[in-house]
Amino acid sequence: AQSVSQHNHHVILSEAASLELGCNYSYGGTVNLFWYVQYPGQHLQLLLKYFSGDPLVKGIKGFEAEFIKSKFSFNLRKPSVQWSDTAEYFCAVRILATGKLIFGQGTTLQVKP
């Protein structure tokens, strides 16, 4: 069965620290890749997406992610986090054959001011 695994469940960083959140998926076929953010009490918001082409994609709020096909990974990065980045982050993989979007377990990021 297809699955998405996020390595870090809870990350605590100080402001200005660098961030990297891991995401791996298990599926051998063609996929679209996404990172979503959910701020406390709010709805999902799309951070960035990868469909094809340059494996390094840039999203909103200074986030970027790199697709490494050989590793089935799509890690999220930000050079310098802010207190306002405190949120839940979800990696998601769309299986193109079915259109299904499968979510990882989520990572809670807490940024200390």
Among 92, 66, 65, smallest CA distance to 6 is for 92
Among 100, 87, 73, 90, smallest CA distance to 35 is for 90
Comparison of 73 and 90: residue with beta carbon closer to other proteins: 90
φ and ψ of 70, to 5 deg: -65, -25
96 touches other proteins by CB under 8 A = yes
Among 47, 45, 68, 49, smallest CA distance to 57 is for 49
8 touches other proteins by CB under 8 A = no
Comparison of 92 and 111: residue with beta carbon closer to other proteins: 92
Residue 83 beta carbon to other proteins: minimum distance, rounded to whole angstroms: 21
Tokens of 21: 């959140």
CB atoms within 10 A of CB 32: 15
104 touches other proteins by CB under 8 A = yes
12 touches other proteins by CB under 8 A = no
Residue 16 beta carbon to other proteins: minimum distance, rounded to whole angstroms: 28
Q: Scanning residues 47 to 86, which ones bind other proteins (CB under 8 A)?
A: 49, 51-52
Among 87, 92, 93, smallest CA distance to 107 is for 87
The residues binding other proteins (CB under 8 A) are: 1, 32, 34, 43-44, 46, 49, 51-52, 90, 92, 94, 96, 98-106
